[in-house]
Amino acid sequence: MFLISNGFPNKQGLYDPQFEHDSCGVGFVVDVKGKKSNDIVSAGLEVLERLTHRGAVGADPKTGDGAGILIQIPHEFFKKVAKESKISLPNQGEYGTGLVFFPQDKEERKFCKEAFEKFIKQEGQKLLGWRSVPVDNSVIGETARETEPVIEQIFIGCWDGSRTVPTATVKDDMTFERKLYVIRRQVENAVKNSNIKQKSCFYVTNLSCRTFLYKGLLMPYQVKAFFLDLQDKDVKSCLALVHSRYSTNTFPTWDLAQPFRFLAHNGEINTLRGNVNWMKAKEGLLQSELFGDDIEKIKSIIVPGGSDSAMLDNVLEMISLSGKSLPHTLMMLIPPAWEHNDLMDQKVKDFYEYHACFMEPWDGPAAIAVTDGTRIGALLDRNGLRPARYIVTKKGFVVMASEMGVLDIPPSDIETSGRLEPGKIFFIDTEEGRIIDNNEIKNTVASSKPYGKWLKDNLVDIDNIDLAGVGVDRDPPQQGDPPQQGDDLQTSLKAFGYTREDLKVIIKPMAETGKEPIGSMGNDTPLAVLSQRPQLIYNYFKQLFAQVTNPPVDPIREELVMSLNTYIGVQKNMLDETPEHCAKLKVIHPILLNYELEKIKSVNNKKFKTKTISILFDAENERNFVKTIDNICKETEAAIEQGFSFVVLSDQGVEKEKAALPALVAVSAVHQHLVAKSKRTQIGIIVESAEPREVHHLALLFGYGADCINPYLVYSAVAQLVEEKDLKLDYDKALYNYLDAAEHGILKILSKMGISTLNSYRGAQIFEALGISGEVIEKCFTGTTSRIGGAGFDVIAKETILRHKTAFEGEISNAPFLATGGVYQWKKDGETHLWNPQTISTLQQATKSGDYNKYKEFSGLINDQSKSPVTLRSLLKFSSELKPISMDDVESAESIYKRLATGAMSFGSISRAAHETLAFAMNRLGGRSNTGEGGEDPARFIPLPNGDSARSAIKQVASGRFGVTANYLVNADEIQIKIAQGAKPGEGGQLPGHKVSAIIAKTRYTTPGVTLISPPPHHDIYSIEDLAQLIYDLKNTNPQARISVKLVSEIGVGTVAAGVAKGHADMILISGGDGGTGASPISSIKHAGAYWELGISETHQTLVLNNLRGRVRLQTDGQMRTGRDVAIAALLGAEEYGFCTAALIVMGCVMLRH
């Protein structure tokens, strides 16, 4: 196993270290009056030990995932031990110190120390000496010992070089603190850019004149035993911040243990990739009076290779040291849900809106504990999905932790207790000796500048821009006359790849109902890269989603925290505050109507100027494709230099000789180009394109950097549907419905990933590419994972030109109708489907008659995809070099039956007869059927007189907990916790009230006629620790049943599975994103979740790397049909196999897909 910089194995097979997650326990103790004592340190260590269950262990039971404690500098203690090392320390505050992790190699250690000496001298300070930190590594695990660094303590005196004795020559401790930060960043960069082999072992825990940090790859109870310093009574502090890490990986990572320099974090930053990109883009504008020229020495602000918590700490540290108070910094980075909160003080609301103009939220479930050594506090994110509780005693002692019970405090001593609320700050200032109320903190910060006046004078709402002849009200849209129809529209629709299906299946339902269209029965069409038909670039991407470690948001229950508010225009230096910072255009509806785009284009004043850049290329010259991409990147950069506020990337003007670049390629290439140049924040990017029409298309454009989108051709398509009477609505209402459906669809995609605001989602690139080559990823989609190579610029150009030519050349161009499509339902002249009339009828004939030859005919149709490959497994071939073995040596059929299961289809989604038939069949075979999430009638638990049983062996526990009782659970051979489902991962379900009959209501323990909603997350599982707790509870309810957890394939599912294995699940099911029988949004069926071949392989490989593979069995399902599918799944790591759609077809399903 080869380790990389942060202790993880190198990227290998399908394992990728960038998708490691962690979740944790966090807490602090503090004496409000600032009295230092060893009792505070001891209390902090006790809190840490009681958070042990919030951490985790892997294959090595004595190696944890990391633990640590952050305290004030214990000056008296350090003075004593420094003297023993022949180091003379000056007064408190006149020196900085910190633990440094060094490589084991002596020469490389020397190199790192020389780097310190060089930059300390260069910055006018004095190296006082090094102290070898006493540790006892006999108490830690073997894995931790193998990667244990050499740990030394550095002392740096505050010195200007003109005195023989170090003394404070800076204005205050913050000035010295900044200087120590500058030294540390230069040393870190020097080591990172060096050629030493063990640079991964080098890490500076912190370097401060205020705080000190003990941490490592330890279990909580090992921290005090390992660091012998902590056993000395002279170690005193008035505060202690502690953290116990539960990482989904078990790889040795000394540096990723927490706390970090300012914070400890329990949660997950879902928007991380976007936050990192935007921070890089902001670096070009950074200026600070306090840092001066030193600002260049600390870049890049975010250190690559860190965890999400480490990266947030990097940014919080930099902003705090630039002069902003700790509360101000927290309010900037993790704002509450202020957008729709009418009860919030307007002054505070103005603060948040002002900062939204130049700082996107670090969004995700998060409980943050933070300290600068004098002040300490905690904050919950806008959703409040992480536990954080506190107690204040009558003696002025405060304890805050992830849960209650971390210290034994007599009830008579408690003055007050409570829990943190979403977006609220709990804050103690030991200098002032008091707890500062959330409202006081926010009012103080919000009153520091006239934010409200600045917004009034500078922020322009798009609705307030007057355009001659057009109203400003969007509800209902006052669009004027519908767009022109006729031959030109048909030509445009053909040129941009529209099909009759797009109009009837996607656009019409959105315009008719105001909701996303619904489909069913999964996805059995080819991957975009395998299709024989030209594909839109959007089809090469799969949406990522949250499961377990960072749960999805419930967009119905949490509607108040969701927001599409967009602020576009030129950004300023984020470390400064001026009226010009909010000279932005405010757009509440970022999917622009045509007249709204005209407003933006027509603006030309001191605040805003717009430039339109054409994204058309020469349709007769494929080479012009890439050249045009380069040109629009250069043109956009030039527009910044020319003072433009916005660029409109437009594909208007398509004609026979001029084709349009795919809008996604254009916008993402420009976005990545400007991010790399640190110029992205200096201009707004608006897309004017005929191409996007689905919610998935719009989400991709936003996810790769578009600020606003004008999908103008879809508006003409809606007008055509109205004109042809396919829509029984007037144009304005139909258009309003379409936009409403699109916006709610985007919010749902955000919520799948646990993200609440479009501001955070924009540029976050929360997608996986399947079938795009490295050259395209590098240029246009930098940082996006593409595990399957494929289409390069040549292929994308060819597909674009092929589509374009259908509009202008050949028979199709003259046809009065569009191509059929055939993606969502099988059509004779449409896209390939594996479930088609021939395969369905052949399977049904074979199983009805018991004709094995007929079955072989069916399996031949499915397995032989040489002419038109559909699945990833169709590209695999069995080796012909292996010698056959005797059938006597092969596992018996009866034994294999035990490995088979049917999918989780609830009673209600299928009929009682179908549900019981599956149970009868699987029980006779010795396999297992699954209740799904709809419960099961207790009468089915009793076997029939003939020995048959309608009892499902697998009882599912889903987010709605319908039908889940103790009786239900004890009548299970397996209890399955459904975290996600293949048809719509990251989403919940809904059974309309008219379908909730008396029998369904009785089975689900609900009320007839009342709509039943399964929320996207389990509302008692917001972290990996919560899942471990549910597994424990279910095992106690039914000790005989095995506990399984259902996940859905996506990049990073292996690391999630590792965390589930550490939570003591017995089996993990990896479902393919193409599976699923129930009704789901079409965009989810087609575009969310990866294929099981990737998921089961990654999970198997990651568990092997973690030495956890022996702890769990693996199962997979999703569009499995034949024995060949089972064999390939087995080779990729699965031990059990699920069939769902195939079982329904055998029972007579005809696959209408309605």
Q: Would you say 357 and 350 are in contact if contact means Cβ atoms under 8 Å apart?
A: no
Q: Where are the alpha helices (DSSP H) in 987-1052?
A: 998-1004, 1024-1037
CA atoms of 551 and 255, how far apart (whole Å)? 26
Distance between CA atoms of residues 1149 and 214, nearest Å: 63
- Per the CB < 8 A criterion, the answer to whether 1055 and 21 are in contact is yes
Contacts of 114 (CB under 8 A, 6+ apart): none
Q: Is there a contact between 276 and 240 (Cβ–Cβ < 8 Å)?
A: no
The sign of the dihedral angle between the CA atoms of 800, 803, 804, 810 is positive
The label of the residue with tokens 């989108």 reads 709
Question: Structure tokens of 494?
Answer: 């053909």
Task: Tally Cβ neighbours within 10 Å of residue 471.
Answer: 13
How many degrees, rounded to 5, is the angle at CA 952 between CA 951 and CA 955?
Answer: 125
Cα separation, 567 vs 586, in Å, equals: 5
Q: Helices 346-356 and 438-446 meet at what angle, rounded to 10? A: 60
Say if CB 784 and CB 646 are below 8 A apart.
Answer: no
Sign of the four-CA dihedral 469, 475, 476, 482 = positive
Set 24, 158, 201, 633: catalytic member = 24
Task: Give the H or E element holding residue 203.
Answer: strand 203-204
Backbone angles phi, psi at 151, to 5 degrees: -110, 120
4: amino acid identity, one letter:
I
Largest CA distance in the chain: 100
Pairing of strands 785-786, 767-769: parallel
CA dist 106 and 131 (Å) reads 16
- Bridge partner list, 977: 957, 1045
Bridge-based pairing state of the strands 518-519 and 1080-1081: antiparallel
Using N-to-C axis directions, what is the helix angle for 326-333 and 346-356, rounded to 10°?
A: 70
Question: In sequence order, what are the residues at sequence separation of 6 or more whose Cβ sits closer than 8 angstroms to the Cβ of residue 1052?
Answer: 16, 19, 21, 544, 1098
SS3 910: strand
Q: At what angle do helices 173-192 and 308-321 cross, to 10 degrees?
A: 140
Do residues 585 and 463 lie in contact, with contact meaning Cβ atoms separated by under 8 Å?
Answer: no
Pick the closest to residue 1021 from 1053, 1056, 990 (CA basis).
1056
708 in catalytic set: no
Exposure pattern of 1046-1076 as b/e (b: 16+ CB <10 Å)?
bbbbbbbbbbbbbbbbbbebbbbbbbbbbbb
Rg (CA), the chain: 31
Per the CB < 8 A criterion, the answer to whether 958 and 1045 are in contact is no
Helices and strands in the chain, H and E counts? 37, 40
At 801, which helix (H) or strand (E)? helix 793-808
Cα–Cα distance measured from residue 214 to residue 1014, given in angstroms and rounded to the nearest whole number? 44
Backbone phi, then psi, for 927, in 5-degree steps?
Answer: -90, -155
Cross-strand partners of 246: 23
Beta bridge partners of 127: 156
3-state secondary structure of 45: helix
Please tell me the distance from the alpha carbon of residue 936 to that of residue 166, in angstroms, as a whole number. Answer: 77
Q: List the catalytic residues.
A: 24
